[in-house]
Structure 1
Amino acid sequence: MELAGIVTRSPVRRAEAVEEYPDVPLYDSLTDLLAAGVDAVVITTPPETRRELVLEATKAGVHVVADKPFAPDAEVGRELVKAAADAGVILNVFHNRRWDTDIRTLRSVLESGAVGQVARFESRFDLDQPDTLEALVARELRLLGSEGSYVSQQGAYHRYYEPFALAVAGKGPEPVPGAEAVHTLEVLDAARLSDAERRSVDLEG
């Protein structure tokens, strides 16, 4: 996978991009980047802007990775999934932590039944710059069960892009299809409704 361009209008971000990626072109808008010609885009803008950008990219026939949450609710998520399907492009969501070594190990531990009946699960993220949500210092997952326990070690989430690149090339499954990520939005919708109405909300499927 080759980085073909970066979109930012922030002077600070542009300076950082030039320093870190001196040979990569910078663009003022997604429209300009699409006009230059790319196979796929990664959209990491604020959540309220993502719908329009995803629609613009899919309409242009470009594959998309959208940061999480990729839509404000499940209804909009389904709209974006349909738009990508109609355009014949891939829409995936950056649920990158699924590729962390600790998460993948946790999944295998659960599937093996080694800890028995799960009694407690703890997840802790430590940040040294919480205003940016970028500087992750440490994370620990702790699973306690009737037959044993599991304590994690942090892994590498960048591996998400490897299966995405293969999917774009038609050589493998998509890492997190938009339709799958809609289920996460349905859970968030239910949580908001439960909080607003002070009742349990059943999820179908």
Structure 2
Amino acid sequence: MSASTPSRIGVVGYGAGGHRFHVPYIQAVEGWELAGVVTRSPQRRAILATEAPGVAAFDSLDALLDSGVDAVVITTPPDTRRELVLQALERGVHVVADKPFAPTAEGARELQAAAARSGRILTAYQNRRWDTDLVTLKQTIDAGSLGEIWRVSSRMDQDDSGTLETGPAHGLLRDLGSHLVDQMAFLFGRVERVSAHLDTATVDGVDVDCGFDVALHHANGVFSRVASSKINHLEGRELIAYGDLGSYESHMDDVQTAQIDAGLRPASAAAATDWGIEAEGRWGILHTAAGSTAVPSARGHYSEFYRQFLAAVRGEGPAPVPLEQAVHTVEILDAARESARTRRTVTL
């Protein structure tokens, strides 16, 4: 495929994920043509017509595929995602699967095998690898400012009980936990041992995990801990990294989501200079023997996922999230659930 010819991509599902976390970032990448969106809802079709004028709405994945696309994004609820991913792979297109990539490691490996049989790219939408605070932390670590990293603590509390999903494929660990665990595995590599606690509440008559604290022992010796809550009326984000030269502390906001919710779009001219950059008053602080210094915000940009996915589809680079990494994240989540159930550390 010529680099000058747009690659056609479709989005399946246009709830909060589709119109807040996918379509705006696809539109921001030159080379992608948004070919259509699958949604039957009249209300969501109206939103689509406003946010992506001229983009066709389809009733089904098959109808979208029949229109001719190179790739699709599956961003429907978790309990419908598996069948749609398999269907798209069988039809011979590349696939982005939203998180959680699969409800269990067994299910993740099934999708991995299906992708291998199809010869098409399957990747997981772990967009929070491009969060502003994580990109800034990674740059700080890569610059050697902290020396040898010993441990990292990551907490993301959301006062948002209305979005806590229930059911066998849901829960906060599978939802937000997929991101926080993936971030640590992305920074520090494979995890060997997991110890976890889950908070459980009854929501709409169903027991569901609504909070978690998960300790991860990485193969390279780094220790990381991720934690979150959703029904404890607490809102806050914290990243703290400890190394032999000092520490780094960040309380940055969820910058890109706030910009989307404010009506901004990454493809706009106004976003060229300030998209994904935290306000100076919220910059992280580096503490070393030389003193404490504010670290300028790096630029977070979820569209980087779609830039890398486009390159992969065109045979010009690897998938933005290699499939084995997506599977490993689900293995970690399985181990966390087992650890919470047995009250033991689980070895992967």
TM interval, short-chain normalised: 0.7 to 0.9
With CA pairs under 8 Å and 6+ residues apart, which has the higher RCO, 1 or 2?
2
Is the contact made by 2:86 and 2:114 (CA closer than 8 Å) also made in structure 1? yes
Alpha carbons 2:152, 2:239 under 8 Å: kept: no
Counterparts of 2:246 and 2:78, CA distance in 1: 39
Write out aligned runs for 1:79-98 (5 A).
79-98=110-129
**1:27 aligned to which of 38, 47, 58:** 58
Report 1:191-202 matches (<5 A): 191-202=336-347
> CA separation of 1:119/1:174 partners in 2, compared to 1, >3 Å: closer, same or farther?
closer
Q: Does 2:320 match 1:163?
A: no
Instruction: Please give the TM-score of this superposition, normalised by the length of structure 2.
Output: 0.53
Give the direction of change, closer, same or farther, for the CA distance of 1:130–1:196 in structure 2 (3 Å limit): closer
| TM-score computed with the length of structure 1 as normaliser | 0.86
Does residue 121 of structure 2 align to residue 121 of structure 1?
A: no
Q: Which runs of 5+ in 1 are unaligned?
A: none
Q: Deviations over 1:157-204 (max 9, x none)?
A: 22110000000000011110222200000000011111122222101x
Matched, 1:61 2:89: no
Count of residues in Structure 1 that have an aligned counterpart in Structure 2: 199
Task: Give, in angstroms, the shift of residue 21 of structure 1.
Answer: 1.2
Is the 8 Å Cα contact of residues 163 and 173 (structure 1) preserved in structure 2?
yes
- Please give the secondary structure, in 2, of the residue aligned with 1:150: strand
For the residues of structure 2 that align with 1:141 and 1:57, how far apart are their CA atoms?
37
* Aligned mates of 1:58, 1:119 — CA distance in 2: 39
Q: Which residue of 2 aligns with 1:177?
A: 322
Correspondence for 2:239: 141
Unaligned runs of 5+ in 2: 1-31, 165-234, 256-299
- Structure 1 residues 108, 22: CA separation in 2 closer, same or farther (over 3 Å shift)? closer
Alpha carbons 1:77, 1:178 under 8 Å: kept: no
Please tell me the residue identity of whatever aligns with 1:64: V
Query: Higher strand fraction: Structure 1 or Structure 2?
Result: 2
Per the alignment, in what secondary structure is the counterpart of residue 116 of structure 2? Answer: helix
**RMSD in angstroms over aligned alpha carbons?**
2.3
Contact 1:65 1:92 in 2 (8 A): yes
Q: Distance in 1 between matches of 2:236 and 2:310?
A: 28
Distance of 2:85 and 2:140 partners within structure 1: 36
Seq. identity, %:
55
Aligned to 2:188: none
Greater share of helix = 1
Contact conserved, 2:115 with 2:121, CA < 8 A, in 1? yes
3-state secondary structure, aligned to 1:167 = helix
CA distance in 2: counterparts of 1:176 and 1:47, whole angstroms: 19
